[in-house]
Amino acid sequence: MHSTFVEHLRRVEMFSGLSDEELFHVAAMCKAQRMPAGHEVFREGDEGDEMMVILEGCVRISITTRLPEGVTAPSTINMLYSGQSFGEMVLLCSATRSATVTCVDPCLFLVIRERDFAALCERNPRIGYRVMRNIASDLAYKLRASNLLLRGNIRWQHNELGRRH
């Protein structure tokens, strides 16, 4: 089973640069978990100590936003598919969940608990260094993109009807 997990982890960006042996150590702490379509994996504001890698299915990432009318509503900010991960912020800090994640399809996840990952990093600092560097690189990219958007250097595209997407 661990060798199957290694194949999936190899495709996940946050684990890039790890050797097969290092990926095997990560795979050894993973647990598989199935969830049905429509299931909320977690809600924005929840406490959490797990990150997940999608093996099968698709999830919707949404945040609560305030509409011009003053009411709040969920807004989809991303869709994630097989080979992508979410919840990795728990590996950096124990803050509350920043978004709601909902299964669009029946999903199969690899689940990694923060305390198990921290213990692995204590035993093998190179794994921790590579993964934290990959997470930091991804966060830096997202921060730069957000800054450009806030400065007005990126414009939302309009479709033929003039609606924003």
- 111: domain CATH number? 2.60.120.10
The boundaries of the domain holding residue 99 are: 2-138
User: Confidence band (pLDDT; 50, 70, 90) for 30?
Assistant: very high
Assigned token pair, 93: 């800090």
Cα(38)–Cα(102) distance, integer angstroms? 6
Q: Is residue 147 part of a domain?
A: no
Cα(113)–Cα(161) distance, integer angstroms? 45
Q: 37: helix, coil or strand?
A: coil
Res 83: pLDDT: 87
Cα Rg, the chain, nearest whole Å: 17
Backbone angles phi, psi at 4, to 5 degrees: -65, -45
Cα(34)–Cα(112) distance, integer angstroms? 14
Provide mean pLDDT across the span 124-137. 93
What's the whole-number average pLDDT of the chain?
86
Overall domain count for the chain: 1
Where do runs of H (alpha helix) occur along 20-77? 20-28
User: How much is the pTM?
Assistant: 0.81
Res 21: pLDDT: 94
User: Confidence band (pLDDT; 50, 70, 90) for 109?
Assistant: very high
Q: Is residue 80 part of a domain?
A: yes
Res 145: pLDDT: 74
Provide mean pLDDT across the span 49-68. 91
Q: Is residue 98 part of a domain?
A: yes
